[in-house]
Amino acid sequence: MTKTQLIENAAKSSELSKKAVTEAYDALYAALSEAIANGETVQIAGLGTFAVKTRAARKGINPQTKQAIEIPASKYVAFTAAKALKDKVN
């Protein structure tokens, strides 16, 4: 499902205009991404938890030259689905 499809479905089910739903979506996305960028964990009841995790530095191999390289540590966003969402999927 794309952002446009999500907004259309939400507008139909809530009887709000697409413009209102788009503004709400954009505000929610901005708040969520700002919190995650600041390293906060965001829990949404019934949906799940977004958290920033750290991937440790490791050694790798350049596939073109076959030389060993050092891959630096990095951060990534992890999502863990809530039990209610898992139950709905299964």
- Topology of domain 41-90 in CATH is HU Protein; Chain A (4.10.520)
Q: What is the pLDDT of residues 51-82, one digit of tens each?
A: 999 999 999 999 999 999 999 999 999 999 99
Please state, rounded to an integer, the average pLDDT across all residues of the chain.
Answer: 95
- Total length of the chain: 90
Following DSSP, what letter does each residue of 4-59 receive, concatenated? HHHHHHHHHHHT--HHHHHHHHHHHHHHHHHHHHTT--EEETTTEEEEEEEEPPEE
Six-digit token string for 17: 């205009």
Q: Are 15 and 39 in contact (CB under 8 A)?
A: no
Residue spans per domain, the chain: 1-39, 41-90
Residues contacting 65, CB < 8 A, separation 6+? none
pLDDT 10s digits, 14-35 = 999 999 999 999 999 999 999 9
